[in-house]
Amino acid sequence: MKKRIRTVLNVFLVLAIIILTVITGGYIKIRVMESKLHPVTEPFSSMEVVPMCVDYIFPLSDISKSIGWSDYTFIGTVEEIIGTEYSELEYIWNGNWIGLYDTDPVTHYRIKVKHNIKGTAPEEFTMLCWGGQQPGGMLSDMNRTMPEKDTTYVFMCRDSGEGDGRIYYHYSIYLGDKNWYESAGNVSEVIGRYEEYYKNQDLSVRID
């Protein structure tokens, strides 16, 4: 479904470093640091976006296909943005260590499920989403938005398929603030609408 391509900017930057090293007669040594969680310091909507290269086999906004692709579709709230995980690449240039972010980031969310529509997602779990805050801005898939804290969405998620319990974010539709499910007057209508999508889901897009 989704083919991740290492950030083009990093590839060109590393090549530029090597070329510059050869031209200037310097020497270079590269090492990748251990992947770790980094705090998210501001709302994603306020960050400068660095586009992430992603290919899809269908438009994510086609809800019947997105639900068909998902293992879990549910109404849920973002209780916490735990942080963004990525590893850092460092290189030595003439004896000086310089940091450079490297791997595609994965943002960790703490999600509380309010109502299951497809499948039975855990009542509360960590959802993983490709993209997130890195030095220099937010690396993001331009086909979808990064969920924000204290908000409610219809989430479509997919199990990793590796038996490790990881659940990945696929797509979402914003509904309102954290208290939407308890306070909105159209909850039953929204649930009915997405249950109808579920009945008519397009399973042809699944690649298991």
Question: Does the pLDDT at position 36 exceed 90?
Answer: no
CA 121, CA 125: separation in Å to the nearest integer? 8
Buried b / exposed e over 74-113, threshold 16 CB at 10 Å, is bbbbbeebbbbbbebbebebeeeeeeebbbbbbbbbebbb
Tell me what pLDDT residue 106 has. Answer: 92
CA 138, CA 116: separation in Å to the nearest integer? 30
CA 208, CA 205: separation in Å to the nearest integer? 10
Assess if residue 13 is contained within a domain. no
Q: Can you give the pTM of this predicted structure?
A: 0.79
Assess if residue 141 is contained within a domain. yes
- Out of 49-58, 140-149, 151-160, the most confident range is 151-160
Tell me the average pLDDT across 36-53: 84
Question: Does the pLDDT at position 3 exceed 60?
Answer: no
Question: Does the pLDDT at position 99 exceed 90?
Answer: no
Question: Does the pLDDT at position 110 exceed 70?
Answer: yes
Assess if residue 26 is contained within a domain. no
Q: Domain of 69?
A: 35-86+104-205
Assess if residue 24 is contained within a domain. no
pLDDT band, residue 117 (cuts 50/70/90): very high
Question: Does the pLDDT at position 32 exceed 60?
Answer: no
Assess if residue 64 is contained within a domain. yes
Half-sphere exposure of 52 (CA within 13 A, CB side): 28
pLDDT band, residue 7 (cuts 50/70/90): very low
Assess if residue 5 is contained within a domain. no
Assess if residue 21 is contained within a domain. no
What CATH number is given to the structural domain containing 181?
Answer: 2.40.50.120
Question: Does the pLDDT at position 25 exceed 70?
Answer: no
pLDDT band, residue 5 (cuts 50/70/90): very low
Average pLDDT of the chain, as a whole number: 83
Tell me what pLDDT residue 100 has. Answer: 60
Assess if residue 118 is contained within a domain. yes
- Which residue type is seen at 142? M
Question: Does the pLDDT at position 81 exceed 90?
Answer: yes
Q: What's the per-residue H, E or C state across 118-173?
A: ECCCCCEEEEEEEEEEECCEEEEECCCCCCCCCEEEEEEEEECCCCCCCEEEEEEE
Total domains present in the chain: 1
Question: Does the pLDDT at position 12 exceed 60?
Answer: no
Query: Does 169 or 8 have the greater pLDDT score?
Result: 169
pLDDT band, residue 149 (cuts 50/70/90): very high
